[in-house]
Amino acid sequence: MLTIDEIEQNFALIDDWEERYRYVIELGRELDTLPETERTETNRVKGCASQVWLETAAEREVGGVILRFRGDSDAHIVKGLIAIILALYSGKTAERILQLDAGEALARLGLNEHLTPQRSNGVRAMVERIRRDAVRQFATVPS
């Protein structure tokens, strides 16, 4: 999976927004499909017009609890947006996740002004879900 920095670099090389959308769709195609067993109501992200599922796994490591996310959607462009969100958040500590600003990252990609209101709401719902999972994990880490 690409990092958010690599995605930003690739976006910078593409001038045309139609091509950028195709790139976002390609990012989604590169995501592993979430198994049917993980497409549960618990993993479903509420607030998305499309079907979106996010699975969260927490691993204790020396630096704290690392959260890893997997996601899937029934819509190609949304699956690409999931790939971008996962590049930003997955593999980070709960503390780091709470410090990251998805709006800023999406603005650097220019996505804020190119997403429909429905898709923007869906991205916001995904980010809120990830942040809630991080808060839950952060709260359970002994000081």
**Does residue 3 carry a pLDDT above 60?**
yes
pLDDT for the residue 82: 97
CATH number of 4-140: 3.40.1440.10, 3.90.1010.10, 3.40.930.10, 1.10.569.10? 3.90.1010.10
Cβ atoms within 10 Å of 41's Cβ, excluding its own? 7
Tokens of 57: 């796994």
Average pLDDT over residues 27-39: 94
- 113 falls in which pLDDT band (50, 70, 90)? confident
**Does residue 90 carry a pLDDT above 90?**
yes
- What residues does each domain of the chain span? 4-140
The answer to whether the CB of 79 falls within 8 A of the CB of 34 is no
Cα(81)–Cα(11) distance, rounded to whole angstroms? 13
Q: In what order do the strands lie in the sheet with 92-93?
A: 52-61, 64-73, 92-93
Average pLDDT over residues 50-60: 93
Q: Which residues contact 90 (CB under 8 A, 6 or more apart)?
A: 1, 67, 68, 69
CA 134 to chain centre: 13
pLDDT for the residue 139: 65
**Does residue 114 carry a pLDDT above 80?**
yes
- Higher-confidence residue of 141 and 20: namely 20
**Does residue 40 carry a pLDDT above 80?**
yes
pLDDT for the residue 62: 79
Q: CA of 43: how far to CAs of 46, 73, 82, 106, 119, in Å?
A: 9, 11, 14, 23, 19
- Known catalytic residues are 48
pLDDT for the residue 48: 81
Q: What is the pLDDT of residues 9-22, one digit of tens each?
A: 999 999 899 999 99
Cβ atoms within 10 Å of 40's Cβ, excluding its own? 11
